[in-house]
Structure 1
Amino acid sequence: MLVLRSLVFNIVFYIWTAISCVGLLWGLVAPHRAMIWGIRGYMRSLVFLERTLIGLKYEVRGREHMPKHGAFLVGAKHQSMWETMKLHLLMDDPAIVLKKELTYIPIWGWYASKARMIAVDRGKRGAAIQSLLRGARERVAEGRPIVIFPQGTRTAVGAWRPYKVGIALLYQNLNVPIVPMALNSGLFWPRHKFLRRPGTITIEFLPPIPPGLPKEEALKRLETALETATDRLVMAAGGPPTDRPANAPPLKTQATA
């Protein structure tokens, strides 16, 4: 039954996504907020399909930790494609840091450019840092939250991947807080796998890391908070904790903020 439901969902998901991409083309010539409204509508339809076809729901904890006004950074765990399709439902008009190659995808890339995401060319380190900072400063001036995945890419449940310096550079240069975002989506929507499992995905926003700390300390606090909370959410849903290699820097005994 799990295989059949996953098959049906995947077929419906990709067909509906293709239809939506074409159906929302009006957003490319509409005002920015109107296009964001259309994107939210598409994402809400996915929530309905997930709940109806595979019995997958989600809950959000810690919304009170996100500043109600002004820009801030969100340092998010990235376990699957699922969370990228919920960010516009979790916060108002987020600017997502993504690799520039994604903007070359027909239609989808047009939406990303119109939504003023922060595209970074990861193949050119110096230019990548400058484009990251330039784009982030522009989004901060607009008062938008900036979402960045500190490990740089999707990381499977239980796997360890080092945190990159990008978010620390943003923190150092933007003078805004970091809100860690932990989750356990990879248990239900695994990366590079066909199956979609029923259950309840948990997203948890953690207490913000205030601006003004040395960037090394801020990065350490972020990693400790995210890894501790994510392991807690994963294990509560029956998954394994992160298997950190022996030569990885040790985490503190508890999350700090």
Structure 2
Amino acid sequence: MRYAVQWLRSLIFTTQAYLMMVPMALAFLPWALVDRRGAWAAVHVWTGWVRWTASWMIGLKSEVRGPVPQGEVMIAAKHQSFFDIILLCNVLPRPKFIMKKQLLWTPIVGWYALRIGCVPVDRGRRGAAIKAMVEQVSAGTREPGQLIIFPQGTRVAPGVEAEYKVGVAVLYQELGAPVIPVACNVGVFWPRQAIYRKPGLAVVEFLSEIPAGKPMREFLGEVREVVETRSDMLMAEAGFALPPPGAADGH
């Protein structure tokens, strides 16, 4: 019975969160059309609304730990569900993403994503995608903000292992910029593909900066180590039992 009640609360919460996207997007549209600050304001207000309603509708509190970057920086973030995107967009002043080109066709989200400076790439061909990613990001550095990239390339459920793709290391080298790793445990509460949301405390944590100039292989190993280690700690803090090493994979 308790599960059924929480499932129903989750359904109501999810429905209202997406429905609220429409009036908020329309309300900020005139400002967003003439000034990017209007688009960022819309993002901050909607994500704040989702965090607030999650806290009392489904009992899912959220917390952001560590110093939040304010300037031009690249962020390599653990990605477990849509909720980590919501938390990052809520606290970063000017967030932008490397995102799948297909998302451009998503109503409201696609237009606002372009307006805040997100970089769409076609990931169908890996080599071409990486090259396009570097070119588009390099061309977009004139617009200040925090560039978020998910090193594993997609959402990865808690306890599942997935490789860190070379794209993040290529960007790190080509842009010559420091990187802020980000760990999280949000997938414990907000799964990839399900209505049910668990109550608890979802955490996103900004970790210590990795300075520019390291060899690509060294950087990729370091970012994987710090993000995975801290994410495992946050998931354990949330009561998630991690599988034994090597027992899970990305398939």
In the other structure, the counterpart of 2:11 is: 7
Partner of 1:35: 39
Q: Out of 62, 65, 83, which is 1:61 matched to?
A: 65
Partner in structure 1 of residue 175 of structure 2: 174
SS of 2:34's equivalent? coil
Secondary structure at 2:155 match in 1 = coil
Is it true that 1:46 corresponds to 2:50 in the alignment? yes
- Quote how far apart the aligned CAs of 1:28 are: 4.7
In structure 2, C-alpha distance between the alignment counterparts of 1:142 and 1:107, rounded to whole Å:
21
CA positional deviation for 1:125: 3.0
Spell out the pairing of 1:1-257 with structure 2 (5 A cutoff): 1-63=5-67, 66=69, 68-69=70-71, 71-241=72-242, 244-245=245-246
Local SS of the residue matching 1:58: strand
Contact 1:95 1:139 in 2 (8 A): no
Q: Which moved more, 1:181-190 or 1:5-14?
A: 5-14
TM-score by length of 2: 0.90
Could you tell me whether the CA contact under 8 Å between 2:96 and 2:113 is conserved in 1? no
Aligned residue pairs total 245
Query: What's the counterpart of residue 251 of structure 1?
Result: none
Q: Structure 2 vs 1, CA of residues 78 and 110 (structure 1 numbering), >3 Å: closer, same or farther?
A: same
Tell me how far apart the structure 2 counterparts of residues 197 and 58 of structure 1 sit (CA, whole Å). 12
Deviates more, 1:169-178 or 1:104-113: 104-113
- Is the 1:231–1:242 Cα contact (8 Å) retained in structure 2? no
State whether residues 121 and 133 of structure 2, in contact with CA within 8 Å, keep that contact through their aligned partners in structure 1.
yes
* DSSP-derived class of the 2:43 partner: helix
Distance in 2 (CA, whole Å) between partners of 1:39 and 1:223 is 29
Matched residue type, 1:50: A
Q: What letter is aligned with 1:60?
A: V
Q: What is the letter of the counterpart of residue 128 of structure 1?
A: A
Tell me the secondary structure at the aligned position of residue 96 of structure 1. strand
Q: How much identity, in percent, do the aligned residues show?
A: 36
Higher mean C-alpha deviation, range 194-203 or range 225-234: 194-203
Q: Any idea what SS the aligned residue of 2:85 has?
A: helix
Aligned Cα root-mean-square deviation (Å): 2.0
Return the letter of the residue paired with 2:20.
W
CA pair 247-202 structure 1, distance change in 2 beyond 3 A = closer
Q: What is the deviation of 1:213?
A: 0.6
- Displacement of 1:242 in angstroms is 5.7
Q: Which stretches of structure 1, 4 residues or longer, exceed 6 Å deviation after superposition? A: none
C-alpha distance in structure 2 between counterparts of 1:143 and 1:244, whole Å: 40
8 Å CA contact 2:79–2:156 kept in 1: the answer is yes
Aligned-partner residue type, residue 150 of structure 2: F
How many angstroms apart in 2 are the aligned matches of 1:35 and 1:242?
41
Give the aligned residue type for 1:204: E
Distance, in Å, in 1 between the alignment partners of 2:25 and 2:33 is: 14
Distance in 1, matches of 2:136 and 2:116, equals: 12
> How far off is 1:135 after superposition?
2.1
- The amino acid across from 1:47 in the alignment is R
Query: What TM-score do the two structures reach when normalised by structure 1?
Result: 0.88
Alpha-carbon separation, structure 2, partners of 1:2 and 1:122: 36
Q: Please say which of residues 37-46 and 132-141 is displaced more in the overlay.
A: 132-141
**Which residue identity is paired with 2:155?**
R
Q: Do the aligned residues in 2 keep the contact of 1:95 with 1:117 (CA within 8 Å)?
A: yes
Unaligned runs of 5+ in 1: 249-257
Give the SS at the match of 1:245: coil
**Which deviations, in whole Å up to 9, do the C-alpha atoms of 1:166-200 show, x marking residues without a partner?**
10000111111111100000011111011111111
Gaps of 5+ in 2: none
